[in-house]
Amino acid sequence: HYKIKSTEEINKTIEEHQVSLSTFKASRFIKPFAKEVDKWERDISHVLEVTELWLTVQRQWLYLENIFYGEDIRRQLAKETALFDEVNEKWKSVMTTLNQSPNAFHATHLEGVDKELQYMNLNLEEIQKSLEMYLENKRRQFPRFYFISNDDLLEILGQSKNPPGVMPHMKKLFDNIKTLTLVKTTSNAPMAATEMRSNEDEVVPFDGQVLLDGQVEKWLRDVENKMKEVVKRKVFACRHDLSNCGTKREKWLKSHPGQACITASQIQWTEEVQKSLRDNVLKLRTDRKKQHLVLRNFTDMIKKNLTKLERIKLVSLVTIEIHARDVINDLIKNQIKTESSFEWQQQLRFYWRKDEIIIEQAIGRFWYGCEYLGNSGRLVITPLTDRCYMTLTIALSLCRGGSPKGPAGTGKTETVKDLGKAMAFYVIVTNCSDAIDYKSMGRMFCGYCQTGAWGCFDEFNRINIEVLSVVAQQITSILNAMTTLKSDIESAIRAKTNMSEEDAFATIDKRYLSKKFTFQGQDIDLVWSCGLFITMNPGYAGRTELPDNLKSMFRPISMVVPDSNYIAEIILFGEGFSDTRLLATKVYTLYQLCAQQLSKQGLQRKKNQYFSSLKITLSD
């Protein structure tokens, strides 16, 4: 239908006339024309007000017209649909009249047009509020909807009966599910999902099928539950096979998903090292020999003709196994003799207890998140990474957030993301700017609380100080609720007097792992694994100084430029090179010379992120 394209010329003309009328009124000869000038001022102001109202109504109408075009929304919001249809008819009538009288002055002075527009504006605002409540209700039923825009959510809801139409949005709702494999047993039967596929095209079959029938938020919740169940079962099967295959692991590696291989390997390594520390510390030397054999076999595998997916999986596993080797070397070097030693307790350790995967580090103890992560690669773990991991896990165990700070390119965000990968949690990174308001932050917080996901706010100090003061109150509310929830969990564990604390933790009733609390006037669930992190670069100009009450909620971690030689050495080893120490020095020297001789633009990032290009070059 007819639309107003632009009012720039009208606004410019109105402004000129208002300046002219102000000049007239300042004249000492205005008296005979005063009434006429006042009338013109009122008329021109009326043109401006009605034009702005017209554009407001048009914006709302255009937005809602696209929404109420879909049959599903019309059926589910019957009352609002009827009201919109009424407004739609009036709008088309008014626009037809406007088309017949294109002069702005005449059109805005048509009898009753301003009242018609006000009536439409009020009704469209009412429809908008009802729509917001409807979307909020859908988000409460499937909290991952908090992480997508209203437009995406409406598109998903409109495809409720058409699962293939929802598949393009899966990667926005899950960490690494690109799509699901859909089947239909009979022509009349609803579709079912049988497999999940990652962005790297790793396919993980479900045990049985997930029916994609009924409301979309219901069957997406079923997919989420099935995903976590399958990840846990795959880790269990992978761990069982690993215990029977010794140091030759080629067949084992190719038979299981990458995430399961890494987690199972970490569980076995933790058990072996802890057993050596408990029984006979001399066995650590045997563990070191075994680790060297495993790495040698992996290096030989890398040189074979592997598929792209197998190579990514193997390189990620080698990265983790090298770190495991280095930890054993440090334990032997420092003559560690007990499992209670800090040098061992500070490591990120994985256990399989009572059919649960438990992660421990220092004073922190966590359940494995079971989010499907695909085969997206892992960060090289340096001593700096280890310290950052420990600081973040301690912060989480104390019901606080984490705040890595440092120059660009030091791995602040990537370290948070990699810790999330290690613990199998969904990590959502938000790039902050001065455009973020407290409402959008509140919506994201609602999602983190109800899903148990981690929120990482990159360059958090770019947010305006006025918004940060409200955000501080929101975060305080969440952290206080987390403290109460942790207290309830500890009470439930202490109540199990017939077993050890470790077993009581593993077998706790899942109903204790979430709790209702009041956030922004609403009662919502808080899941135990919710985590909040902020990263900052204090060196940039124009950054906001965080209020003291906000600083106290986040444990700071200073990040520095990592040991580039060490990282290059591990990357080279992961790509199949054997004598990596000398080669790493040469490669790093080459990049340093390039940095000195070539353009200085973006030098800091180039210096510390050359590993990505190195990895791509070696892979090719």
61-110, pLDDT tens digit by residue?
888 888 887 777 888 888 999 999 999 999 888 888 887 877 777 777 87
In a domain, 372, yes or no: no
563 token code pair: 């040991």
Q: With respect to residue 503, please indicate whether it lies within any of the assigned structural domains.
A: yes
Last residue of a domain, one of 96, 122, 141: 141
Q: pLDDT at position 159, please?
A: 85
Radius of gyration of the chain measured on its C-alpha atoms: 31
The model's pTM: 0.87
Q: Are 402 and 395 in contact (CB under 8 A)?
A: yes
Q: Which of 343, 398, 338 is nearest to 365 (CA)?
A: 398
Looking at residues 315-327, what average pLDDT do you find? 93
Reduce the DSSP state of residue 266 to 3 states and report it: helix
Q: Which residue has the higher pLDDT, 592 or 477?
A: 477
431 inside domain: yes
Residue 603 clears pLDDT 60, i.e. is over it? no
For position 27, which CATH number holds?
1.20.140.100
DSSP helix/strand/coil, 214: coil
DSSP assignment of 321-377: HHHHHHHHHHHHHTT---TTSHHHHTS-EEEEETTEEEEEETTEEEE------TT--
* Sign of the torsion angle spanned by Cα atoms 23, 25, 29, 32: positive
Q: Are residues 436 and 580 in the same domain?
A: no
Residues 471 and 595 in one domain: no
In terms of domains, do 491 and 569 share one?
no
Using an 8 Å Cβ cutoff, are 479 and 486 in contact? no
For residue 477, what is the domain's CATH number?
A: 3.40.50.300
Residue 90 lies in a domain: yes
Which of 472, 413, 477 lies closest to 446, judged by CA? 477
Name the token pair of 345.
């307790």
**Spatial CA neighbour of 387 closest among 342, 334, 335:** 342
Contact 133, 73 (CB under 8 A): no
Question: Following CA atoms 334, 338, 344, 345 in sequence, which dihedral angle do they give, to the nearest 10 degrees?
Answer: -140
Question: 441 and 572 in one domain?
Answer: no
Q: How many domains does the chain have?
A: 3
544 lies in the same domain as 614: no
Looking only at the bridges linking them, the beta strands covering 401-405 and 554-558 are parallel
Q: Over 80: is that where the pLDDT of 6 sits?
A: no
Asked whether residue 608 carries a pLDDT value surpassing 60, the answer given is no
DSSP 33: G
Q: Is the pLDDT of residue 387 over 80?
A: yes
Q: pLDDT tens, 136-157?
A: 999 999 999 999 999 899 889 8
Mean pLDDT for the stretch of residues 220-232:
97
Please tell me the distance from the alpha carbon of residue 461 to that of residue 171, in angstroms, as a whole number.
Answer: 28
- In sequence order, what are the beta bridge partners of 517? 524
The SS3 assignment for 508 reads coil
Rounded alpha-carbon distances, angstroms, from residue 600 to 159, 604, 605, 610, 611: 50, 9, 10, 14, 18
Boundary of a domain, candidates 117, 141, 165? 141
pLDDT in tens, 228-284: 999 999 999 999 999 888 778 889 999 999 999 999 999 999 999 999 999 887 899
* Residue type (1 letter), 17: H
| Domain end (from 559, 580, 604) | 559
Determine if residue 562 is left, alpha or beta; phi over 0 gives left, psi from -120 to 50 gives alpha, anything else beta: beta
Q: Nearest CA to 100 among 89, 86, 110, 88?
A: 110
For residues 351 and 358, give the distance between their C-alpha atoms in angstroms, rounded to a whole number.
Answer: 5
Residue 430 lies in a domain: yes
* 555, 609: one domain: no
Claim to verify: residue 493 and residue 391 sit in the same structural domain? yes
Burial 14-42 (b: 16+ CB within 10 A, else e): beeeeeeeeebeeeeeeeeeeeebeebbe
**Residue 102 sits in which domain range?**
8-141
Same domain, 475 and 536: yes
Q: Mark whether 27 and 76 lie in a shared domain.
A: yes
pLDDT band with cut points at 50, 70 and 90 for residue 606: very low
d(CA 167, CA 145): 14
Task: List, in order, residues 6 or more apart from 305 with CB less than 8 Å away.
Answer: none
User: Does one domain contain both 44 and 119?
Assistant: yes
* Whether residue 609 is found in the same domain as residue 519: no
Residue 197 lies in a domain: no
Residues 28 and 132 grouped into a single domain: yes
